[in-house]
Each structure stands twice: as structure tokens, then as C-alpha cells.
Amino acid sequence: ISVRGVYQLISIRCLEHPLAADKLAQLRERTTDVPTFRRLVYELAIFLAIDCTQDLMTAPTSIETPVATTEVRRLSDTVTLVPILRAGLGMVEGVLQWIPSARVGHLGMYRNEETLKPVEYYANTPKDLDQDVVIVLDPMLATGGSANAALTVLKRRGAKRLKLVSLIAAPEGIAKVNEEHPDVALYTAAVDDHLNEKGYIVPGLGDAGDRIFGTL
């Protein structure tokens, strides 16, 4: 879909599925409890994982079925997941359910509530990222600061085929990522209206990390 406003025209792949829409609606409810919120994040992550992996490469091979020898195609790409701590951790198990062979790195970023700028405090990723499809998991693409910082770090570490996956995204964050990393594919379950004066997505779903880990 496209997002148009005071920002330039941006292209982003937005998940369209009735079950995903229903799960997202439950996520947004302020009365949704922590265990249910975690489960919904896990389930939506599976939907997004399916959507963002449609272009992975496969290679032909021969196997034996119980009946005959046949030619099949097996995954030839290596996938590395990189959740942005801590909220991104809530999406990891859902994506691994779909891609159990994926490697997992970690990037620690938090948003300075005064400047709204990201602060990096931890980075641990596989060393050979240049051949991988690297999927960055960040539930909330708000200002785009943390996502851009993470993408910059990963490019410095050799990543070339990058995707950014978020539960929800704001037009401001989409524009920011598109400006600094136009080569990165964006995937989300919803594009929301705007950011408020505190940099939170509206209508949003609150603080994803706090709701996943019960630290409200």
C-alpha cells in the first residue's frame, strides 16, 4: 500500500488477512491481559513471517518419498533474525515457528524519552551476514530512529539483504526508514495515523515491550 500525507509517497507491504486483522484488534484493546497479548504477538509474527519470506531462494534436489524418487525444491537462503531488544523478543518465537532453521542475533536499543533518539547498549550478531536474508524485528515502527540505527549497525556488520518487520507502523517512521535505507523492504500488519507529541503511535497499542513483559 502507499502512505501519502505531508510525507513523500512511500511504498510498504501491509498484511491483509481477516484473521490477522482480528488479532491486531485484540492487541489494540487496552483490557487485553499480558498472556493474551504475548500470544497475539506470537501469532501475528507468524503471519508476518509468511508474508516477508515469499521471495526466499530455493534450490532443486532429489529425495526419496515412500513411493518413488522425486525432484523437490529446498530452501537455499540462510535467514538471520535480529530482534531489537527488548520488545522485538516477543516476535522471535513466532517467526522461528515458520523458519526454525533461522539464526538469531540481538541488538539492544532504547529510546531516550527526552530526545526520542535511539541509544545502543548491546549488539551480538553472527559474523557472516553478507549472504543472509536478515530480518529485523521491531514491533513498533514509530519515529524510525531505533530501526534506522539497527539497520545501520547491521549494514556495518555486512548485511546486504535486509527486511524490517513491525506489528504496526506510523507514516513518520516509514518515511524516515525509506529516506535513510531505501533498499530495505518494510512489512507490517497496519499503518496507523500519526505520532503524538510524545512520539507514540496513534491509535497504536501502547508500549509493546511493557505489554509483552508485564512491566506497565
Report the catalytic residues. Answer: 111, 115, 207, 210
Task: Pull the grid cell for residue 175.
Answer: 518515511
Task: Pull the grid cell for residue 104.
Answer: 538469531
CA-to-CA dists, residue 30 to 47, 106, 123, 128, 162, angstroms: 22, 29, 32, 41, 33
Which one, of 78, 105, 73, lies nearest residue 92 by Cα?
105
- How many CA atoms are closer than 13 Å to the CA of 85, on its beta-carbon side? 13
